[in-house]
Amino acid sequence: MIPCKIANRLTSGLVAGVVVCILLSACGKADEDYKMLSGISLEEWPLTDCSTSTRPVRDLVAYKLLGVPYKWEVDWMSGTTYIIQPNFFGTESSFSYNDYLAKNLCSGTHDAYMNLIEGKSDVIIASRDISRNEKASAAESGVELETAPLAIDALVFIVNPKNPVKNLTSDQVRKIYTGEITNWKEVGGVDHAITPYIRDADSGSQEKMETLVMNGLIMIDGAEGTYMHEIIGSQMASPYLQIEADEHGIGYTPFFYCTAMVRDLMRVDMLSIDGVKPSKETLRNNKYPFVSSIYAAVRKTEDHKSTAYKLYQFLFTKKGADMIDESGYIAIR
């Protein structure tokens, strides 16, 4: 979808005039879709799914369009993250939180894609694009997905605050995770073995680690009694819990999850990479080396008149981008 603001830059010439008309028409269509979605009932709302780290943006967009007040608060079930919750107090709503959860899943990156492929959801927002394995599953099922980058994120590396190392080069990170560097003294730290933690194979974080950072290099997996400790399960809080208790550990996690969801609830430090500290500015300017994107996806066969497809399109409009920015992500405009 072409941003409506482009239309304002085209002000002269016959061709420009024709293009402006087309773009203004597209902008008007986007406004119509927003009016149709704004105040939509839960019964009309499509089935959505998301990854753990993209749940806040999915929920914020949903609550705004459904007309439900919301607020950031600590997730009482885990105590390790902030999430966006509906604020039904003092308001009337035609549905309950359980009703909302029944139509808005949070299955994790891989399962969200699989649910979309299998028709168990209609629109997803995931921490990465579809993987090779998921494409193969889609092909086997005769399904094609339409995916597009929605917002900027990054893969960041976290250590215990007591660790004196505050910066690593990209090459040092890769050598730690291939087993060439095994002691913190080799990168300016104390004389102690490094404990590098990894994520489970289907997680968005692991996919980004392999594609963004390792560039095809083989990560140590502990198969030969090496020091690699795989984090069991798919909980995104696992690296934080490990590193809080391990002064000599290192792990990786999405920037948004660390800065917007974990915040001050767990004690870890983000490392600078190649001398660049991860921040919204360095991500937006692409100065931080491991910048990535979150994605929205629908099935290619989705009826373009359906609320699911209109929701998918809306995410890429200016109003959609404003909601994404409000969630803490950096919308791609």
Which pLDDT score is estimated for 13?
43
Which pLDDT score is estimated for 10?
35
Which pLDDT score is estimated for 283?
98
Separation CA 250–CA 177 (nearest Å):
10
Beta bridge partners of 223: none
Which pLDDT score is estimated for 32?
67
What are the tens digits of pLDDT across the range 194-204? Answer: 999 988 877 88
Which pLDDT score is estimated for 90?
72
Q: Which residues, 6 or more positions from 176, have their beta carbon under 8 angstroms from its beta carbon? A: 168, 182, 187, 194, 196, 250
- Which of 324, 321, 318 lies closest to 7 in space, CA to CA? 318
Separation CA 109–CA 114 (nearest Å):
9
Tokens 């993987």, residue located: 131
Which pLDDT score is estimated for 27?
59
Which pLDDT score is estimated for 1?
44
Which pLDDT score is estimated for 331?
97
Mean pLDDT by 10 residues, the chain (333 residues): 40 42 51 77 97 97 95 92 90 88 96 98 97 96 98 98 98 96 98 92 87 92 53 72 94 96 96 98 98 98 97 97 97 95
Separation CA 277–CA 279 (nearest Å):
6
Separation CA 57–CA 328 (nearest Å):
8
The β-bridge relationship of strands 291-299 and 269-270 is unpaired
Separation CA 73–CA 70 (nearest Å):
9
Report the chain's terminal Cα–Cα distance, integer Å. 10
Top CATH class of 48-152+294-331 equals alpha beta
CATH topology for 153-291?
Answer: D-Maltodextrin-Binding Protein; domain 2 (3.40.190)
